[in-house]
């Protein structure tokens, strides 16, 4: 049993996919370098992460944690989409992981940064923005 498909529906879906792909490409080209340049050079090697949320008043900390993790989830979804659509999927996922809070995060980040291509591209972006390169994390 097959359902009749209207050509205009298929055409609309393809146009929506093309537009969303172009928007993701432009957003990643602007947002990723900005996020990468804001991370300190020892972000992936420093044993004690900056817990800036814990220094805030309790009525601000929880809403900001929600916003921070919401942004991380959106970037992770965009990164996964960009693995098959045009865009910088792996770099978007690295930035999303640096924003998100989840168990095993730091070990996973170090594992990901041990991929030579990922580490090289991140430092290339930092060099272009006149930021010091990331320190290479130790394998664990």
- pLDDT tens-digit series, residues 27-69: 777 888 888 888 888 888 876 665 666 677 777 778 888 888 8
Residue with tokens 């995060």, as numbered in its chain:
105
Q: Which of 48, 40, 29 is nearest to 133 (CA)?
A: 40
Structure confidence at residue 50 (pLDDT): 57
Q: What is the pLDDT of residue 120?
A: 92
108 or 124: whose pLDDT is higher?
Answer: 124
Using the predicted structure, report yes or no on whether residue 110 has a pLDDT greater than 90: no
80/33 Cα distance (integer angstroms) = 18
- C-beta of residue 79 within 8 angstroms of C-beta of residue 96: yes
């Amino acid at each position: 049993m097959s359902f009749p498909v209207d050509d205009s529906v298929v055409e609309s879906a393809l146009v929506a996919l093309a537009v969303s792909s172009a928007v993701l490409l432009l957003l990643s080209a602007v947002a990723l370098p900005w996020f990468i340049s804001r991370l300190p050079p020892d972000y992936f090697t420093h044993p004690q992460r900056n817990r800036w949320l814990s220094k805030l008043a309790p009525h601000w900390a929880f809403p900001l944690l929600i916003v921070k993790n919401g942004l991380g989830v959106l970037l992770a979804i965009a990164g996964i989409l960009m693995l098959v659509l045009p865009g910088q999927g792996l770099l978007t996922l690295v930035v999303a992981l640096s924003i998100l809070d989840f168990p095993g995060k730091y070990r996973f980040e170090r594992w990901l940064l041990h991929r030579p291509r990922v580490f090289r591209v991140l430092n290339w972006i930092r060099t272009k923005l006149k930021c010091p390169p990331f320190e290479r994390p130790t394998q664990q």
